Structure 1
């Protein structure tokens, strides 16, 4: 490499080799790397030390005004200036998921080993589509997938792949269900020939409280939302297995074609699990593809105490897991696991320049053969590898136990306070309730609780979520932080009451 080329490289912020034979990096490049990493680390430390409430309360308008002062076409002189700008624009107002007062959505605090892995993932920048781009990364991901499958109760014939999130994993589950039915029962290859005429009569059975990705995915698959049959739930908002079977019989009698059931292992609104075992038996009896959306409930795999709640998941054909919800991993870290590795063959497409048909994939694996929407893909599995190898399943399981125990204590706290109405207990950690003190008329509960939520958000003191059940507005706790204690919950309820009084003044 000539002197001019080396000089040009050293002006860039990548890591170029000075000598292509030895792959040795210049001292200046290493120094810049250290400077950048140290500056970022110091800003993270500042965020953790300075942040005392989950949100600053800044409005989008006020923040947009700050952005107006930024000239993105003029580079900054150094990392100090850059980090100061990013602090002002982002870090000062970033939502702090690690604080107990953040109790809104399914965002978990992250464990430190996974953060260390993020540095390697980004710096080395492997792509997981083929072995020649990732080598050990391919085998690590395969091992994590196999481990997860074993925890689910699958045998050595299981397989899977990391995805960008639960919605994508659910998409793959429904795609496999659709294509499997068409291939097996209609001898029709949808990948090659598109949906058959019968597809307009395909029916997929979901809980009325299932994740919204089912609707979006059915539309993407060309089946339309009309393909989904919403099955009523019980008093804890879990799919009613008796009504599921009745719905299947009704659709068959109407001339429609049941192809799949989607059970939810941890609903977004209530944190409860559908009766997986009963639903699995129905799926077997009617020869339906059985997909379990365990994006939230997958954390139960980590705990011996509450693992029984997942009984029946081993009957599934495919399962969604979100490590970035219940395994305390940074976004993104999700996967789909299939019971039979051959079921993934239906989505394989060969490209001569990437995964040629003649290649022996037992000898030279290519994870691109298992994906539908991602070619270039981050090595997210390394984060979970770091976590499991350093912390182990038991420590993560203890976190899950703590969360579930705290949620049950919080449910009892709400039940024993006459000013609150709790809809139901939770298998995991989501509590839906509303504040209904005597000084507010029942017809005003919706507006009153909406004002409380808005007031809390504006102050930044507490971030909680909300939902509607049977048309009524409710507040929602999502407990996903093992550091959250029942004392924290008590303080949050006190804060809700204080804001409730303030919004009426």
Structure 2
């Protein structure tokens, strides 16, 4: 006999994952509908962007955002979102999508997302993620070893570089307060002299350094920028002189952030020199390798990371140069004892008794509670592709970046800001003859290309002027693709300068 309650529950069955053969077939049919919808769009994807205006996209989305009271079929919803959402998205897997540190995801990572969503593990406590906990631990151990940390190294998956940089500076702040004043910030708040504390970083460091320091209660004024050399690396001599000047002024430098792959130029600060100064002065060294971490697998350029093993903490991003779907990052520390500065015990989640019994609850290492099982994407990618092939992908993008810089250098009217790319970004400007405002022209070039949808490139600022930028993360992008985009930039510039309508 089926009760009224059972009948009510049965009405929900088709919307959840269930056990049984019939339920498995139901799930398979739904997945096939999604795959068919995506495959159709990718099959016809001739351009990285449809070229719609902001207004056009907003108008097309109005119907999609009209939410019904009654259920719609998945087939109907997919048909409804295909144009306004899927086709109007930026297609980062296209060879001429070369704007941001926004990678094309590899298929194992994309497929892992389906497993992650279906299993829906929560990475805070072991009893919510029994296998996933140890997959994550194994991968943090693996990358800790690649960095060159000893068995005392440890880490945790994060949402990306901003969160990892925040964690590095949080631990640096609290470790400094504990060692200098025996003051536990976690328990007692910031100590009285906190306004004297200072963080130093390159003038071209990621904005998340300043943002993190502000969120940590020290204020943006606590970040001291260090000038860069002509190759856009932090100047180690200027760094030393600034640290010593701060000390003479009675201020308290406690951390240096070294960037391993700046957003614009891919520049790598001199890690060995910075590590030596930190060891001499007792400063915390955090390395932001959100971009440059791809070199960990490179066979040709891995030596560029020399000295990273001397850091106290490191940021890695896998949704940049390890080709993972967003989001997927990692934070590593040289000595796991520092992670205890993050730990809070909740009786329902990670009681002290669990720790005494050797049960691993990853919430003890994270500033997040609920977290996704992102480690599965990395595991599947490393196993399906292998580390050697991934390293070759990284090396290939650097090869194409060097080709792009050389080609731009050889053409008239182009100035390349980094003619010898450190990683896979090239910053350049179209500089025509005449008195036209160059910044306006280059901004117009970038926007025109985007609106046409033929190529997606980035713009940035160099000494107050607008420059263009290639960010080459797709190993499928060829020299021919680069030539095609440069030709399009030249053609667009001439059309704008000639007053020809686009």
**1:2-30 Cα shifts (integer Å, max 9, x gaps):** 5655544443344365xxxxxx3361x33
2:462 corresponds, among 469, 473, 488, to 469
The alpha-carbon distance between structure 1 residues 32 and 427, as it changes in their structure 2 partners (threshold 3 A), is: same
Contact 1:177 1:260 survives alignment (8 Å): yes
Q: CA deviation at 1:436?
A: 1.4
In the TM superposition, what is the alpha-carbon distance from 1:503 to its structure 2 partner? Answer: 1.7
Segment of structure 1 superposing worse, 159-168 or 355-364: 355-364
State the match for 2:378 in structure 1.
384
How far off is 1:67 after superposition?
A: 2.4
1:20 is aligned to none
Instruction: Give per-residue Cα distances to partners, 1:266-314, cap 9 Å, x unaligned.
Output: 0001011111111111111110000000000000001121000000100
Contact 1:76 1:82 in 2 (8 A): no
SS of structure 2 residue aligned to 1:385: helix
Equivalent in the alignment of 1:250: 245
The within-5 A match list for 1:99-114 is 99-114=94-109
Distance 1:75 1:90, change over 3 A: farther
Q: Within 2, Cα distance between the matches of 1:143 and 1:4?
A: 48
2: CA distance, partners of 1:503 / 1:418: 17
Match of 1:115 in 2: 110
Superimposed CA distance per residue, residues 434-493 of structure 1 (whole angstroms, 9 cap, x where no aligned partner): 11133x43x521111111111111111111111111111101110111011111111100
CA distance in structure 1 between the aligned counterparts of 2:10 and 2:389, rounded to whole angstroms: 44
CA 1:68–1:180 in 2, change beyond 3 Å: closer, same or farther?
same
Secondary structure, in 3 states, of the residue corresponding to 2:315? strand
Indicate the residue corresponding to 2:81 in structure 1: 86
Cα deviations by residue, 1:212-266 (Å, 9 ceiling, x for unpaired): 0011111100001111010000111110111111110111111100100000000
**Contact 1:16-1:25 within 8 A present in 2 as well:** no
Aligned equivalent of 1:401: 395
Alpha-carbon offset, residue 415 of structure 1: 1.2
Say if 2:209 is the partner of 1:214.
yes
For the Cα contact (< 8 Å) 2:61–2:85, is it kept in 1?
A: no
Matched, 1:11 2:34: no
> Is the contact made by 2:459 and 2:467 (CA closer than 8 Å) also made in structure 1?
yes
User: Please, which runs of 5 or more residues in structure 1 have no aligned partner?
Assistant: 18-23
Instruction: Tell me how far apart the structure 1 counterparts of residues 421 and 194 of structure 2 sit (CA, whole Å).
Output: 37
Alignment of 1:157-172 (within 5 A): 157-172=152-167
1:34 matches 2:35? no
| Superposition map of 1:124-143 within 5 A | 124-143=119-138
Q: 1: CA distance between counterparts of 2:267 and 2:68?
A: 50
**Superimposed CA distance per residue, residues 329-372 of structure 1 (whole angstroms, 9 cap, x where no aligned partner):** 11111010001011100110000110112323662100000011
Q: Structure 2: state its 5+ residue gaps.
A: none
Q: CA RMSD in A?
A: 1.5
Q: Give the alignment's TM-score, normalised by structure 1.
A: 0.95
**Contact 1:320–1:335 (Cα < 8 Å) also in 2:** yes
Q: 2:43 aligns with which of 42, 46, 49?
A: 49
Distance change in 2, residues 1:283/1:453 (3 Å): same
CA distance in 2, matches of 1:293, 1:108: 18
Contact 2:254 2:284 in 1 (8 A): yes
Distance across 2 between alignment mates of 1:129 and 1:287:
33
SS at match of 2:209: helix
CA distance in 2 between partners of 1:79 and 1:278 (Å): 57
Partner of 1:488: 481
Distance 1:208 1:9, change over 3 A: same
Report the Cα distance in structure 2 between the residues aligned to 1:36 and 1:361, rounded to whole angstroms. Answer: 45
Mapped to 1, the partners of 2:317 and 2:357 lie a distance apart of: 27
CA distance in 2, matches of 1:287, 1:45: 55
Cα deviation digits, residues 34-66 of structure 1 (max 9, x gap): 222011111221121111111111122112212
Q: Structure 2 CA distance, aligned partners of 1:99 and 1:430?
A: 17
SS for the counterpart of 2:352 is: coil
Aligned match for 2:233, one of 231, 238, 255: 238
2:353 aligned counterpart, secondary structure: coil
Match of 1:414 in 2: 408
- Three-state SS of the structure 2 residue aligned to 1:57 is coil
Q: How does 1:422-441 map to 2 (within 5 A)?
A: 422-424=416-418, 425-438=420-433, 440-441=434-435
How far the C-alpha of 1:77 sits from its partner, in A, is: 2.9
Contact residue 103 and residue 478 of structure 1 kept, 8 A: yes
Give TM-score, length-normalised by structure 2: 0.96
TM-superposed deviation, 1:419: 1.7
Contact 1:9/1:16, CA 8 A, preserved across alignment: no
Rounded Cα–Cα distance in structure 2 between residues aligned with 1:311 and 1:274: 11
Q: Deviations over 1:417-446 (max 9, x none)?
A: 1221001122111111011133x43x5211
